[in-house]
Structure 1
Amino acid sequence: MKHTLIPTNRKALIINIDTNMYGTFAEIGGGQEVARHFFMAGGASQTVAKSISAYDKRFSDVSYNKNKTGRHVSEERLNKMLDIEYKQLTTVLSDKSEDFSFFTLADTVETLNYAKSNYSHGWMGIKFQLKPNTASNTVIVHMILLENDAVLQQQTIGTIGVNLLYACKFYYDSPNDFLQSLTDNLTMDRFRITMMRMSGPDLDYVDNRLLAVQLVKNKMTHAIMFDKQGNVQQPSELLYKKNVLALRGSFRPITYIASDILSKSMELFARDEDYEPDNTLSFCELTLNDLTMQGDFDEQDFLERVDMLNAIGQHVMVSDIREFYKLVEFFSQFNIRNLRIAMGVPTLEKVIDKKYYTELKAGILEAMAKLFPENMKLYIYPTIKKVRGQQMLLTAKDVKMDEDVQLLFEYLKMKRSVLDLETSMSDQLHIRSHEVLNMIQNGKPDWEKYVPMKVAKSIKEKGLFAKGMKSVRSAKTL
């Protein structure tokens, strides 16, 4: 079914009257609005088997956590709600299983408090059958609520819930239509969807990594994250009180230099007094701009890069964030401990160039204030540059800048907010990843000298970066 914009009350009425969906609504915390739409639309007796609302946290614990305390607004609590309510629904109403497609829609939400001092967000999910007597599917969504009023946030939750149930029924076979329909009758200044995951027999064709990138492409969120196994993760859950190292790049392919930047950065990070190896995450960040350089999003190319980064033990992040100070602001909202961003000298030269900050009232001074909170440091990897006919190793101290910026930069270095990384691979500093890619695509075997063995093996075995892999394979055969 093609996506068309339908009013919220009309969607609820269509589900009530024109479908055989029958199930439970379970809402705890600030989200008490979804079921109301179906009661108000008319014909709710054909859809609502049960509606349960819990506001006091203890009732949530009794109902869904065996009377033990725990995190109430979390994916773990949402999954318990879905499992418990769906099991009860299908057990109590087993005599109706031939006639109805059962579902459970649940949400656990924290809306704005009276002082407006809290983080407003929530988890919503649905466990559902497409046909009677079939295995269930599951869709999980995390959302951030942006409105400055709790009542407006509740209304947003209600609309999202109706959109979600409608999408599960009518757009399950078109993930992009599914995603876009979640914003029906809403504007993106009201909320963000920061994570979405689909599973089940009717949804097993969906690659959740591609689904996550669509969230960024459709401007439903600014960034999405995958763990080292390639699983989509909610940033606030993944980053909470963690030390974070981030490296931005194209990683097409991953070179020895990129690998060296990561390892040398982690070695320097480990010298910090509060460094804990088990509490530190390393991210390779891809920007949406890099993934759509030719105007189109190449899904296969993206998946290849994620697989390679996961293969060398890296978490992966995809964002639409261009400025590094905005990247710092993004990470800082998740209550992380320390943040380190690694970059090469050429990137540093752009970071300290005043022309990129003309839209800020205080220009580069404002940008640097946002870039360097107390828990943030830049790690600078050296580069090779030809000076007067000779190859020179350039570090942070060699970067040319305006005199007024130089004073600011010296202050940051004195504070140890900008630190140089050492390299053990000066013989490869002249090579760039796009040059290695060209070697691969033109069948030149020298490319293997510039990438880690595990990456080279993966490129050859899987035929990655397809344009040139025929050449590489034929060269090896010959």
Structure 2
Amino acid sequence: MAVNLEKEREFREMVSVENKALRINLNENIYGTFAEIGAGQETVRNFFRARNPSGTIAKTLSAYDKDFSDAIYGVGENKRYVTEARLKSMLAYETGLIEERISRAKHPNKLFFSYANTVATIDFAKKYKGHGWLGIRFQTKPKEEYSEIIIHVQFHESNAAKQQISLGILGVNLIYGAFYHHDDPVAILNSLYDHLNSHKIEIDMVNFTGPAFKEVDNRLMSLHLVKTGKTDAIMFAPDGNNVLAADLLYKKNILTLRGSFRPVTKVNLSMFQKSLELFKQENKVDEERILGIFEITLFNLRNEGEIDEKDFLDRADLLCSLGQTVMISNFQEYYKVVEYFSQFTRERMGLTMGVNTLIEVFKEDYYTHLSGGILEAFGKLFFKSLKIYLHPQKDPETGEIITSENLEVEQRTKELYSFFRDNGRVVDITDYDPDVLDINSRKVYDLIVNGKPGWEEALAEDTVKLIKENNLFQKKTKA
């Protein structure tokens, strides 16, 4: 398998952008339209430059003027143009025109497609870096229902001209991947960065749909983006579909619980619910705009070596079944989570933690890479009156209940800890359920994987049912 992957990588490196466009142009059956808004016609330009563009390009359109765009694709919600909804409207409209205007009787073997993007590049003042939506609707067989790939990108280059060039390359990679790698969506994701790198452009959301991807779980595609460094974090909704963080987090009050959730236990749910009740009471927290997030880091997923995709999906299935929004990130330090959220909202934030986690947060060793050390990290962590909601812990040997008042942090950070605690930034969850303090998720997991009884009382009833019905967290049998 490794050899095949290496050959695939070498093959992709040999295929230039020009040759990708040429290969598509020379395929007499691939035929479609290009609709590009906001950054010129950078993708289709590559196909015009290659030989035989007339064999591929049915039409190219740049409805740059907003009124003209509205006349074609309809008026978007809140008059916004760089949105997923606008992209999907463009794709549906353009493929509909192809079907309407091109005779299937005359072209029985044609594989129709529509490529579109709607983009805002960096502004003159460089206040907004630029972002955009790209997508393709395409067929892998004549007359087949359309499959679709939708991606969102963030631009990191410092001027619009460079961003336009990167957009054009990415568009060619997307079209080429759709037609020549549709049987391997991971290969599509990897090939999107041919002749690009994550320093130029960041893919932070992707969804595959349609008959070509009927076996694809988009949560695994999100995991791949984070695991391979294509983005720092991704989010998916309770229905399992990937969602764009910028849209989901916009103007939200955010409460986050980090954990392994292997599985999600009554103590996890109690921690979150009790902290949520406190969060709702905070000044300037609009209850109608609260978003709860269950975060799993790559470190959580790698705690026993390489990431096990089934294990990841088992955790995700349980969290989704409980109606939770899930975030996968590569943020080991909590201040990076807060920095990430603060890109999208200026509203109040809260973090739910256990005692051991808070003790770790106050260890100086985590922040030696920062010039300002732990003080710099905490300046970022306690952004906009952020508060930590601390769930107590029972000492397994003495039975003592440990709270913010009697926990022990490192000697060098005691005064710093006291400062934040005394100023109300660390809030004890006092209305806790004493029955959940004895739950040990590691022991619960071991009982489940070894088929032993006694774990059921540690989990919610619906979670127990789901684990048993779907054999979640079962050991792999050796071939």
User: Shorter chain as normaliser: what TM range?
Assistant: over 0.9
Identity within the alignment, %: 41
Paired residue for 1:79? 88
Deviation at 1:441, TM superposition (A): 2.7
Distance 2:461 2:365 in 1: 41
In structure 2, the partner of 1:472 is none
For structure 2, the 5+ residue unaligned runs are none
Once residues 295 and 94 of structure 1 are traced to their aligned partners in structure 2, the CA distance between those partners, rounded to angstroms, is 55
What is residue 418 of structure 1 aligned with on the other side? 426
Query: What is the match of residue 473 of structure 1?
Result: none
Change (3 A) 1:443 1:160: same
Residues 6-405 of structure 1: pairs in structure 2 closer than 5 A: 6-66=15-75, 70-95=79-104, 96-385=106-395, 390-402=398-410, 405=413
The amino acid of 1:410's aligned partner reads S
Q: Compared with structure 1, are the counterparts of its residues 468 and 447 closer, same or farther at alpha carbon in structure 2 (3 Å cutoff)?
A: farther
Report deviation, 1:19: 4.7
Q: Letter of the 1:271 partner, please give it.
A: Q
Q: Is the 8 A contact 1:163 1:181 kept in 2?
A: yes
Superposition deviation, residue 43 in structure 1? 1.3
- 1:11 and 1:365 mapped to 2: Cα distance? 50
Question: Contact 2:256–2:352 (CA<8 Å) still a contact in 1?
Answer: yes
Q: Report the alpha carbon displacement of residue 411 of structure 1 after superposing the two structures with TM.
A: 2.8
Deviation track 1:284-311 (CA, whole Å, cap 9, x = no partner) reads: 1111222233333222221111111112
Deviates more, 1:160-169 or 1:318-327: 318-327
Q: Using a 3 Å threshold, how does the CA distance of structure 1 residues 468 and 78 change in structure 2: closer, same or farther?
A: closer
Which deviates the most, 45-54 or 3-12? 3-12
Deviates more, 1:442-451 or 1:118-127: 442-451
Matching residue's letter, 1:260: S
Range that drifts further, 195-204 or 273-282: 273-282
* Compared CA separation, residues 32 and 411, structure 1 to 2 (3 A): farther
Cα drift, residue 212 of structure 1: 1.3
Alignment partner of 1:467: what SS?
Answer: coil
From the superposition, tell whether residues 67 and 224 of structure 1 become closer, same or farther in structure 2 (CA, over 3 Å). Answer: closer
The 5-angstrom pairing of residues 413-452 of structure 1 reads 413-452=421-460
1:384 CA displacement:
1.4
User: Is the 8 Å Cα contact of residues 207 and 241 (structure 2) preserved in structure 1?
Assistant: no
Task: Work out whether residues 287 and 321 of structure 1, in 8 Å CA contact, stay in contact via their aligned partners in 2.
Answer: yes
Whether the 8 Å contact between 1:222 and 1:319 is mirrored in structure 2 is: yes
Q: 1:318 to 1:67 in 2, by over 3 A?
A: closer
* Displacement after TM superposition at 1:374 (Å): 1.1
Is 1:29–1:56's contact at 8 Å kept on the other side of the alignment?
A: no
Provide the rounded CA distance (Å) in 1 between the counterparts of 2:420 and 2:103. 67
- Over the aligned positions, Cα root-mean-square deviation in angstroms equals 2.0
Count of residue pairs the alignment pairs up: 467
Q: Which deviates further from its counterpart, 376-385 or 153-162?
A: 376-385
8 A contact 1:61–1:69 mirrored in 2 = no
For residue 272 of structure 1, report the CA deviation from its aligned partner.
2.0
Q: After TM superposition, which residue ranges in structure 1, 4 or more long, deviate above 4 angstroms?
A: 66-69
TM-fit CA distance, 1:31: 4.9
1: CA distance, partners of 2:93 / 2:103: 15
Q: Is the 8 Å Cα contact of residues 299 and 330 (structure 2) preserved in structure 1?
A: yes
Distance 1:94 1:279, change over 3 A: farther
Alignment partners' CA distance in 1, 2:419 and 2:341:
24
C-alpha contact 2:129 2:156 (8 A) present in aligned 1: no
Q: Which amino acid aligns with 1:323?
A: E
CA contact (8 A) 1:441 1:465 kept: yes
TM-score with structure 1 length normalisation? 0.93
**What CA distance in whole angstroms lies between the structure 2 residues aligned with 1:237 and 1:264?**
27
Work out whether residues 337 and 375 of structure 1, in 8 Å CA contact, stay in contact via their aligned partners in 2.
no
Write the letter of the residue equivalent to 1:300: K
Residue aligned with 1:398, SS: coil
